[in-house]
Amino acid sequence: MTYANPAAIVSTDWLAQHLTAPDLRVVDATWFHPRSGLKGRAEYDAAHIPGAIHFDIDDIADTSRPLPHMLPDATRFASKVRKLGLGNGNRIVVYDRSGGGAAAARVWWMLRVFGHRDVSVLDGGFEAWLAEGRAQEDLPPMPRERHFMPRVNQLLVRSFEQMKTGLEQGREQIVDARSPGRFAGTEPEPWPGKKAGHMPGALNVPWTDLLDPAGKTFLPAPALIARFERAGVDLARPIVTTCGSGVTACVLALALALLGRDDVAVYDGSWAEWGQADDSVAVCAAVAE
């Protein structure tokens, strides 16, 4: 059984064969949680796939809000990506250093929100590329500014208010990409000042469970289906994904796109927003699952 939408990802072989195609743009989306002490830009500067530009999800964001890497408005997004040399006619491949592409999936989702459909994530990421001994470089390209006209698809995004309404209506399934411990409230949250637990009625599909443990590539379609169904997810019903700050939720959205569900929405603020809400918002704290 093959993926229903295999174009959502590309292999390292495919990228190597198409790396010099004139319409291809390669994007390095490497990002690390602030507590790691690592910097995505520094890792990019040290080594990246030839021709790749760096996309910083903390910069191409709504920086007026206190929440991390929230989706920017269309004007800011278009201005930023144009300067990176990304245009409407480009075939874009995104990768990072998280195997299955945590931040890469976030960029994939952002581009789709703003109307760019011809975008894929490199399966296995930079680690797979390096493991195969493929070319790398440490000099950034000098991209020529391109035309990017955003066409916003709000159906792929959920806000705080929409999530509250959704909980009341119960129409959409909420699928949380965090670890079982964070979901249950038995492990501390890496983002300070957040409550423990998960949204009422949410289902837990840790994003790492969707990847092969060795190569960090996406599991075959039958295994992906089994992972979601085991968690109680009905793949025929509407789905919204969430996580800690809207990054790994996009990995779930990407996996579901591989299975043909390209209509899955992401809760942009995720637990970074929900977990600091006032007491009028129900939070299942420290629930033993």
What residues act catalytically?
Answer: 243
Q: How far apart are CA 55 and CA 250, in angstroms?
A: 16
Query: Rounded to an integer, what distance in angstroms lies between the CA atom of residue 33 and that of residue 72?
Result: 19
Determine the Cα–Cα distance for residues 94 and 61; give it in Å rounded to an integer: 17
Edge-to-edge strand list for the sheet holding 53-54: 9-10, 119-122, 91-95, 24-28, 53-54
Question: In the numeric block, which tokens belong to residue 267?
Answer: 């809760």
Q: What is the 3-state secondary structure (H, E, C) of 199-230?
A: CCCCEECCHHHHECCCCCCECCHHHHHHHHHH
Helix 102-113 × helix 249-258 angle, to 10° = 70
Dihedral sign of CA atoms 56, 268, 205, 278 in order: positive
Q: Which helix (H) or strand (E) holds 94?
A: strand 91-95
- SS3 label, residue 11: coil
Cα angle 199-201-206, degrees, rounded to a multiple of 5: 70
Paired tokens of 254: 């990407």
Which two structure tokens, joined as six digits, stand for 53?
């530009």
